[in-house]
């Protein structure tokens, strides 16, 4: 039974983490695209995305959702938008049943609170329990120093054990 990494990234930070994770786990990676892409710059970037996230408005995914039956573990990777989950991941989670899966979470933010985002994922995943979350602030190659922590997270995913964040993000 394999691992599936499902992600959404608008400006590349989540994507940066996912490339490392997918390589380490040797797992399938499903980066979600939306039918009507979000603007990645200016006022519109925050306006439309923030509104959709705040009201949990569903968005149409351009990425087909695969059959999840062959995956025992699903890793959900999202940026924080308006203190909650990005709409593409929110919409994905509403369409799938993760109740029998091991679920791990990867969250990137710009320094705000991630608790509501985590709570929303826990609620939508309906999993018996999210086994761990890796939290990061705008990670990017130039300033990346948390390789050891990300390696511990990947080890926990591979072993199906609980991951507890150590130190600061
Ligand atoms: C619409 C929108 C809303 C955001 N809201 C928050 C927020 O509430 N708290 C926060 O810390 N960062 C917020 N951010 C910043 C992103 O979570 C952060 O930059 C993240 O690392 C971006 O990941 P990405 O480059 O993979 O898209 C927001 C970004 C966007 C585009």
For the chain, the structural domain boundaries read 2-159
- Give the model's pLDDT for residue 165: 81
The pair of three-digit structure tokens given for residue 130, joined into one six-digit string: 């999210």
Kindly report the protein residue whose alpha carbon is nearest to atom 22 of ligand 1: 79
Distance between CA atoms of residues 122 and 125, nearest Å? 5
Q: What is the pLDDT of residues 121-157, one digit of tens each?
A: 999 998 777 999 999 999 999 999 999 999 999 999 9
Question: How many Å from the N-terminal Cα to the C-terminal Cα in the chain?
Answer: 31
User: Residue 109 Cα, ligand 1 centroid: separation in angstroms?
Assistant: 5
DSSP state of 86: -
| Rounded alpha-carbon distances, angstroms, from residue 141 to 10, 13, 20, 78 | 16, 9, 10, 18
Residue spans of the chain under pLDDT 70:
166-169
- Classify domain 2-159 by CATH number: 3.40.50.360
pLDDT of residue 111: 96
50 in ligand 1 pocket by Cβ < 6 Å?
A: yes
Is any ligand 1 atom within 6 A of the Cβ of residue 149?
no
Signed CA dihedral, 80, 82, 83, 86: sign only: negative
Closest-lying ligand 1 atom to the alpha carbon of residue 138: 21
Residue 115 token pair: 């608790």
Taking a C-beta distance cutoff of 8 angstroms, is the pair 86, 10 a contact?
A: yes
Helix (H) or strand (E) holding 3: strand 2-7
Spatial separation of the C-alpha atoms in residues 50 and 47, rounded to whole Å:
5
| Ligand 1 centroid to residue 138 C-alpha, Å | 8
Q: Which atom of ligand 1 is nearest to the CA of 111?
A: 11
């Amino acid at each position: 039974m394999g691992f599936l990494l499902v992600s959404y990234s608008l400006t590349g930070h989540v994507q940066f983490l996912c490339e490392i994770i997918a390589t380490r786990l040797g797992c399938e990676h499903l980066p979600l695209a939306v039918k009507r892409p979000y603007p990645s710059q200016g006022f519109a970037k925050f306006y439309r995305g923030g509104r959709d996230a705040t009201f949990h408005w569903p968005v149409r995914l351009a990425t087909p959702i695969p059959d999840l039956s062959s995956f025992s573990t699903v890793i959900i990777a999202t940026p924080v938008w308006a203190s909650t989950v990005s709409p593409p991941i929110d919409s994905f989670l509403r369409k799938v049943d993760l109740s029998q899966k091991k679920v791990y979470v990867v969250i990137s933010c710009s320094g705000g609170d991630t608790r509501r985002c985590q709570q929303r994922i826990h609620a939508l995943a309906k999993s018996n329990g999210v086994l761990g979350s890796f939290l990061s602030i705008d990670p990017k190659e130039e300033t990346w120093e948390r390789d050891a922590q990300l390696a511990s997270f990947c080890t926990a995913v591979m072993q199906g054990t609980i991951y507890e964040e150590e130190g600061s993000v």
